[in-house]
Chains A and B, each alone.
Chain A
Amino acid sequence: MTPLSPLFQTWLNTKNWSLHPHQQDMLDHAHLASQLLIAPTGAGKTLAGFLPTLMELDTAPRKGLHTLYVSPLKALAADIKRNLTTPIQELGLDIRVEDRTGDTTQTVKKRQRVDPPHILLTTPESLALLMSYEDAPRIFDGLERIIIDEVHALAESKRGDQLFLALSRINALCPNLRRVGLSATVEDPHAIASLMARHPDPCKIHFTPALAPPDIQMLDTQAAPPWAGAGGAHSIPDVLDQIKQHKTTLIFHNTRAQAEIYFHNLWLANDDALPIAIHHGSLDKQQRQRVEDAMTHGALRAIVCTGSLDLGIDWGDVDLVIQIGAPKNVKRLVQRIGRSNHRYNAPSKALIVPANRFEIIECQAALEAVRENALDGDPRAPGPLDVLCQHIVLTACSGAFVADDLFAEITSAGPYHTLARADFDACLDFCTTGGYALQRYDQWHRLIHMGDGTYRLRDPRSAARIRMNAGTIQDTDTLKVRMKRNRGGKPLGEIEEGFAATLTAGDTFLIGGQIVRFEGLREMVVEVSRDATKTPKIATFAGTKFATSTQLCDRVLHNFETQNWGFLPQNTVDWLAKQKEISTLPMAHRLLVETFPRKGRHHLCVYGFAGRNAQQTLGLLLTKQMEEQNLAPLGFVATDYATLIWGLEPIDAPETLLFADTLEQGFENWLMGNAVMKRSFRAVATIAGLIERNLPGLRKSGRQATFSSDILYDTLSKYDPNHILMQITRTEALSGLVDFARIRGMLDRVNGLIEHRTLPHVSPMAAPLFLEVGKVPVEGQAIDRLLHQEAETLMREAGLDF
């Protein structure tokens, strides 16, 4: 056991603290190359991470960078800085702690490169940039430890890939670097460990279970949940009651739009004027800051929020977490529950509010999973190649490199340890020549091959341009929303450009909990004014919808099969019994398909339980096949469980539509022209460096010079369909928004067994689908026809004719 030095022991004694076992464990193993601490919120992870650094710097004071701390949130870095400064001052240590994020000024950043602090707190993006300077070897000289906070959150995205690549580089500069990961509870600690450790180094895992199991239940609401919808508005009186009974309540929603609407309704019902606020990622930074400050001071009784509050910032006195709507994913639910009672050994208290009848079933399955501690998670795909391309170019910014050495370095990064040399070479070729089938303009390559496997930037001046465009976070194009200038010009937040484009003057919508009226667009800023109406004309702006996880879907199906109704309310049990009587319940190893007529239309309902994205793709594929078979489909709607299609012709043999081979073939053709592909391409091409988001000095005048990434996509699919970026795009789209992988999984699961029920009318389980929003019209030539009609009307109204 590594004992604490007298200084630290005395300090702990004066605080009346003692080390938790896992904090001591981490200290005992501080000499290891890699350690990972898995512990619930409030378990003192920060101290566990930093204690060895503080002790080492106390025993052997020195200059220069000793420890790097990386976190996914800028706010977290600032938070940690506060939390570290107190003990450092109380201990009287001579340790400098600074943060370096996108918010740090250029002057400070320059100074940090010349004279680095002992402890530098940063984000993956800032670290990747720091690594790309020519003086990186000097900056990182003497670096001993790197602490990766919330490593579970980073591991889920490309930011993690970027970080682990940057670490492989830094490790080459500092061979004795020790890595420490701090993670919330995850389903597969070994997966995280092998991602963060230098491959093939071992990684010691310290596992700290929560001492008290969470106290989690479904909230009993006076009004039963509606048949469809996701807002949870029926729960408002009950939730207000809960807020009154607790000190501080966090109310989580799955999307920003739902949070906005819920907050608006909660406020209308808030007769006691309780201090309630809203917090989500689209709100203006200052507004978010105000809410965070009020929260830290305990001035708020409730906060309506989204994932932006998911990560481990210390918010103090939260004693209740309410999740509105099915959590879609057990892991996220557990992490959210952990936000309440931010003390290690006190049980977390949480309530979950299903937003519709079907979600009651899903919520019950999620509660079972939480109690059994069965977390879900899909195995992670190998590190994506677009991030690799960015890393190669950033490496070139720091100086010439030898391809073989870089390859060896990259395959020491967890996500890339299986990287094939051919894929690396293809990425290197893309960075050098563009990697096109048509090769010319040899003198203008971005990187130059110097002949002996060494590569460098052709034009060193392009380094600034490359750094400016680095990063893996994609801004969906958002526009700032402001009050109209003559009324103060107060910034309110951001909305997606696509949503802004559909607004016409006079439209009202919700943002930051207030209703505003769209006045116009001015220099890429949405100008609005306050509006006194009670209900917004346009309810929402678009938001990401998560698909229910495979594990949760399987659990629901399993409950159907075993007829495990658990604590389901009577109304739900009756509903399921009726479904069984009229049709049958969906099963895991058979695909339930219902056909029935309703209001002169023929309907087809496919209970695939494959998650929203896959069910949506299934809808697109099936309607396309139906078009070809002249079944005249009119439209469809998809939920996490089922796809409902309607059309003019009866579907007698739905099983012929559901052949795996036919679906797959239709998919291949459909995919290339798909909007989802174009969206994925845009992200991939931006990360890989083909599309520049920021051009020095070209922002405004350059508008007609820049053109849409769709043009590049169309050009490549016409002339160079096997280009590496097209390959990456395909891989991404298949597992992401298109989620064909889960359709395939579903087809494998049912193995050709299709249970077709021909019904005289709609079944109890299909009925709620008619109320779902987000119906997708099957267009064919419809958009052209619409445009034509609209054009004629407009010209006639304007009395124009040329």
Chain B
Amino acid sequence: MNTYSFTLAGAALVACPSGALWWPDQRVLCVSDLHLGKSDRLRRVGAPSLPPYETRDTLFRLEHDIHECDPRTVVCLGDSFDDQDAEKSLAPEERTWILRLQAGRRWVWIQGNHDPGPLDLSGTHLGTLPISPLTFRHIADPKSSGDVSGHYHPKATLNLKGRSLSKPCFLVDSDRLILPAFGTYTGGLDTKSETISSLMRREAVAILTGSKAIAVPMPR
């Protein structure tokens, strides 16, 4: 098995090596920070034209996880689009692709800071989604527990006998879970940063993504 199983607030969860979260008991698949249409947004603001393939690459990987798990519900944990206009300028074949993925299941778009307004796409648009004992939202709420969020794009850096290795990761402690960014064109915030280390408890664990999900004590 390349996945890593753990529990949060009593819920048995599985971290997939792709960065997706699988909750078998509820058949919920959750991904965060897809940032679809990023190259499109950057072009509009006068930045160089990045290779316009990130949307299809992200959808391709999402399709793979959906195919593997066959979820009843898919939760996109916010920042699914790089901005509101990125959603409007989806290519027709990409829009159809999303519709195809949505067929036969419940699909929830959680609002993020990049895509705060309602989307034209079908699916439910929510600020937060409670599925007891967990609550899904974009940005972690320090006061809540059983909290599942994204936003920070956490990545962890390990020193392996003189070689440094940095990977996007899940972060989990007894109160919360933070998902890595799933989108192809996304960077990361190191777990050693003040923002992350002040949010997570001392005993937090980082689950590294890649070819295999591997847990280590969260580097600080």
- A contact set with B: CB distance below 8 Å: 433-434, 436, 438, 440-441, 444-446, 458-459, 461-462, 465, 498, 501-502, 504, 521, 689-692, 703-708, 711-712, 715-716, 718-720, 723, 783-784, 786-788, 790-791, 794-795, 798, 800, 802
Contact = CB atoms under 8 A, between A and B. Distances in A.
B52 A498 contact: no
B48 A690 contact: yes
B182 interface: no
Interface-central residue, B44, B53, B162, by most chain A CB under 10 Å: B53
B164 interface: yes
A445 B187 CA distance: 25
A786 B160 contact: yes
Contacts of B165: 783, 787
Instruction: Please provide the 4 A-B residue pairs with the shortest distance between their CB atoms, ordered closest to farther.
Output: A434-B49, A707-B187, A501-B164, A802-B6
A381 to B, nearest CB: 25
Contacts of A708: 187
Contacts of B49: 433-434, 436, 444-446, 690
A784 B184 contact: no
A355 B164 CA distance: 31
18 contacts: A434-B50, A440-B52, A441-B40, A461-B46, A501-B166, A502-B163, A502-B164, A690-B48, A705-B187, A712-B51, A715-B53, A715-B54, A720-B51, A783-B163, A798-B217, A800-B203, A800-B217, A802-B215
B205 interface: yes
B49 to A, nearest CB: 3
Contact of B53 (A461, A718, A787): A718
Nearest to A435: B49
Nearest to A463: B46
Interface stretch (B66-74, B125-133, B134-142, B150-158): B150-158
Given A704-B189, A784-B211, A794-B216, 17 more contacts: A434-B48, A434-B49, A440-B52, A440-B91, A441-B52, A444-B40, A444-B44, A465-B46, A501-B159, A689-B48, A715-B185, A716-B53, A719-B53, A719-B56, A783-B165, A791-B208, A802-B7
B123 interface: no
A525 B9 CA distance: 39
Interface-central residue, B57, B208, B216, by most chain A CB under 10 Å: B216
B57 A718 contact: yes
Nearest to B192: A521
Nearest to A691: B48
Contact of B52 (A436, A690, A705, A787): A436
A167 B214 CA distance: 55
B188 interface: yes
Interface in B172-213: 172, 181, 184-189, 192, 203, 205, 208, 211-212
B186 to A, nearest CB: 6
Given A716-B51, A783-B160, A788-B214, A446 B172 contact: no
Contact of B161 (A436, A786, A795): A786
B15 to A, nearest CB: 10
A720 B158 contact: no
B164 A498 contact: yes
Given A501-B157, A521-B192, A689-B48, A711 B43 contact: no
Contact of A707 (B6, B52, B152, B186): B186
Given A705-B187, A715-B53, A784-B211, A504 B48 contact: no
A746 B185 CA distance: 42
B185 A711 contact: yes
Nearest to A689: B48
Contacts of B189: 703-704
B47 interface: yes
Nearest to A788: B214
A800 B187 CA distance: 28
Given A436-B52, A783-B163, A711 B184 contact: yes
A434 B50 CA distance: 7
A540 to B, nearest CB: 12
A691 B39 CA distance: 12
A271 B181 CA distance: 59
B172 A787 contact: no
A271 B34 CA distance: 64
Given A461-B46, A711-B184, A802-B215, A723 B51 contact: yes
Nearest to B193: A703
Contacts of B26: none
B96 interface: no
A438 B160 contact: no
Interface string B63-82: 00000000000000000000
A704 B153 contact: yes
A788 B162 CA distance: 16
A461 B56 CA distance: 31
Given A459-B46, A802-B172, A434 B187 contact: no
Contact of B187 (A692, A704, A795): A704
A493 B53 CA distance: 40
A718 B60 CA distance: 12
Contacts of A502: 159, 162-164
B81 to A, nearest CB: 14
B143 to A, nearest CB: 22
A703 B188 CA distance: 7
Nearest to A702: B187
B144 interface: no
Nearest to A538: B162
B122 interface: no
Contact of A692 (B48, B91, B212): B48
A514 B63 CA distance: 55
A398 B164 CA distance: 43
B89 interface: yes
Contacts of B53: 436, 438, 715-716, 718-720
Contacts of B217: 794-795, 798, 800
Given A444-B44, A521-B192, A704-B187, A791 B214 contact: yes
B159 A715 contact: no
Given A441-B89, A786-B160, A715 B46 contact: no
A797 B161 CA distance: 17
A98 to B, nearest CB: 33
A704 B164 contact: no
A723 B212 CA distance: 31
A795 to B, nearest CB: 6
Given A501-B159, A719-B57, A703 B51 contact: no
Nearest to B4: A802
A438 B152 CA distance: 31
A458 B205 CA distance: 48
A707 B46 contact: no
Contact of A715 (B6, B51, B211): B51
Contacts of A784: 211-212
Nearest to B173: A802
A790 B157 CA distance: 13
A131 to B, nearest CB: 20
A504 B159 contact: yes
A795 B160 contact: no
A706 B187 contact: yes
A788 B165 CA distance: 13
A441 B159 CA distance: 42
Interface-central residue, B166, B181, B215, by most chain A CB under 10 Å: B215
A802 B57 contact: no
Interface in B77-93: 89, 91
A787 B47 contact: no
Contact of B215 (A444, A462, A498, A795): A795
A436 B51 contact: yes
Contacts of B172: 802
Nearest to B161: A786
Contacts of A798: 203, 217
Contact of B43 (A444, A501, A691, A720): A444
Nearest to A708: B187
